[in-house]
Amino acid sequence: MRRRSILMACALGPWMSSAVAAAVGTACDELVSMTIPNVEIRSATVVPAGLFPPRGAIGTLLQKLFQPGGTIATILPGRFQRFGATNSFVLPEFCRIEATARPVQDSEINFELWIPPPGNWNGKFQGVGNGGWSGDLDYAAMARALRQGYATASHDTGHSGGDLKFGQRHPEKVVDYAYRAVHVMTDTSKLLIRVQTGRFAERAYFVGCSAGGHQALSEAQRYPEDYDGIIAGAPANNRIRQIFGLLWSWMATHQNGKLVLPAAKLRVITQAVVEACDSIDGLKDGLVDDPRACRFDAATLLCKGADEANCLTAAQVEAVRKVHDGLKDPKTGTQIYPGWSVGSEDIGNQSWRTYILDPPEPMRVQFFRYFLFDDPTWDWNTIQWDRDLAYAEEKLGFIAAIEPNLTPFERHGGKLLIYAGWSDPIVAAEDTVAYYEAVTNASGGPVRTLRFARLFMAPGMGHCGGGPGPNQFDAVAALDDWVTHEHAPDQLIASHTTDGQVDRSRPLCPYPQVARFKGLGSIDAAANFGCVNPSAPANGTPAIRR
């Protein structure tokens, strides 16, 4: 087996070795013998088409059936993805590379790179993001990218699991999580693609939502030349302030550690919000178009007598108001982190329960205990909002990705597509809007900003999807068209499905534009809407549901 020595900068930056410029690619299994500073190639194998990862005897049988020429692959190619075992995916053949990077002492970043064979590769690379504080590779996102012809990579953010204890007295691991892991994965993957295929990827995209959206914006801000196009969904990029906001909301809904606001009442609140604000945009369609225009007051649900299921007690009204209003500096009244939008309380498959009501203690309290104060016994009741926030942003400000000046990314020719749901119960929608508006100001106004960065807000959509509003759309295809052909997306066609059937579609418009009904036809068809300035009057023509 041949042995290749690839010389790189310690940070895995510019390509420096003439050996990389080989005219032909290297066999997948030979990649394991490569020498890359600070990177160990643990394995490199060709995975045949079929179920990945295979699960037991049934998985092995299915994998054989799905291989080219296999019974199922011959009869109904690509139709049986749902029959895979849990967390398994039906995939085409690919070269699977497992690697570990150790760019600095006490850093260990595990990642995988999947490369399609030449006949299936579209010539592009797609890095994918993570969720929460998770240290898991996102095989689902990699599977989607691979099926679309991309070489794709995912990493573990430099630790395993979702427990924040990994960062206690391990500052380099916190840096890995904050931004270094994505960059190291990206640089190494680009090199490996070049060696394996014989050529560099023509385009590089990063696609992430939630923590992945945070990673996406971090890449645009810190490493503007890593990617040609970036998708940042529901970005939790204001990470420190979001954690403070979660602590505030948990304390607002709990007294002496006991829940004040029963989860069963969340649905009552959301229904009242929709009833009060649904028609602001001129349509009665079950969606609040822009919660900022909704003047809902939880006091309208105040019980007139005893506590009942369809009303709120005075304590519950106060709790809801605090969550909606968000965290403010107790001395100046300045907003520290926006509140969660009216209408985000309960949208069916998502609600305030997961991050605010149900946790037995404040969500992400480990951030304070293990990252900030190095005190596993820290009591959240001792929080001093202004003092502790200032300390957190001084000590750990690098965790956030809030720099609005994206000029280097723009000069690189990069395109940034941001999206979020107005009913997101995890990342405050108004914080995403605030970041985009900051980018617009730093870029010199909306005209210039729209040339390289666009935000799409989805009414009725939750966190990274879900909710009663149209929430499924192809952001990757839109980004690719923008980067490759300079066709900036003037709208994204989003759909909503029930039991697998599309029952509504709408255009999502580049902020600050909004979708407005044209006055004729079904309000469930995207073709009957257009993107307009939000100051445009709502069409008074009666809606026709078909």
Transcribe 187-236 into DSSP letters: HHHHHHHHHHHSS--SEEEEEEETHHHHHHHHHHHH-TTS-SEEEEES--
Question: How high is the pLDDT of residue 356?
Answer: 98
Is 515 a member of any domain? yes
Percent helix / strand / coil, the chain, rounded to 5: 35, 20, 45
Those residues with Cβ within 8 angstroms of residue 154's Cβ, 6 or more apart along the chain or in another chain: 111, 112, 127, 128, 130, 137, 138, 139, 141, 142, 185
Residues 367 and 256 in one domain: yes
Residues 371 and 411 in one domain: no
DSSP characters over 374-421? --TT--GGG--HHHHHHHHHHHHGGG-------HHHHHTT-EEEEEEE
Cα–Cα distance between 339 and 235 in angstroms, integer?
Answer: 16
Secondary structure of residue 544 in the 3-state scheme? coil
pTM: 0.90
Rounded to the nearest 5 degrees, what angle is found at the Cα of 309, between the Cα atoms of 304 and 314?
Answer: 45
Provide the CA 239 distance to its chain's centre, in angstroms: 13
Residues 253 and 351 in one domain: yes
Is 389 a member of any domain? no
Question: How high is the pLDDT of residue 80?
Answer: 30
User: Helix 239-252 crosses helix 385-396 at what angle (to 10 degrees)?
Assistant: 150
Is 433 a member of any domain? yes
Is 174 a member of any domain? no
| Phi/psi of residue 285, nearest 5 degrees | -130, 10
Question: How high is the pLDDT of residue 56?
Answer: 54
Domain total in the chain: 2
Where is the domain boundary, 358, 375, 392? 375
Residues 346 and 426 in one domain: no
Residues 506 and 406 in one domain: yes
Q: What is the mean pLDDT of each run of 10 residues along the chain (546 residues)?
A: 37 37 77 96 97 66 46 34 55 98 97 97 97 92 98 97 93 97 98 97 98 98 98 98 98 96 98 97 95 96 96 98 97 96 97 97 97 96 97 98 98 98 98 98 97 98 97 98 98 96 98 96 97 69 35
Where is the domain boundary, 375, 409, 439? 375
Question: How high is the pLDDT of residue 134?
Answer: 84
Residues 367 and 322 in one domain: yes
Beta-carbon count within 10 A of 545 CB: 9
Residues 406 and 545 in one domain: yes
Residues 367 and 429 in one domain: no
Residue-range definition of the domain harbouring residue 337: 241-375
Residues 409 and 345 in one domain: no
User: Helix 211-222 crosses helix 181-197 at what angle (to 10 degrees)?
Assistant: 80
Question: How high is the pLDDT of residue 87?
Answer: 72
Catalytic residue numbers?
210, 424, 463
Residues 364 and 411 in one domain: no
Residues 367 and 410 in one domain: no
Is 157 a member of any domain? no
Residues 425 and 539 in one domain: yes
Is 135 a member of any domain? no
Enter the tokens of residue 37.
């500073």
Is 335 a member of any domain? yes
Is 196 a member of any domain? no
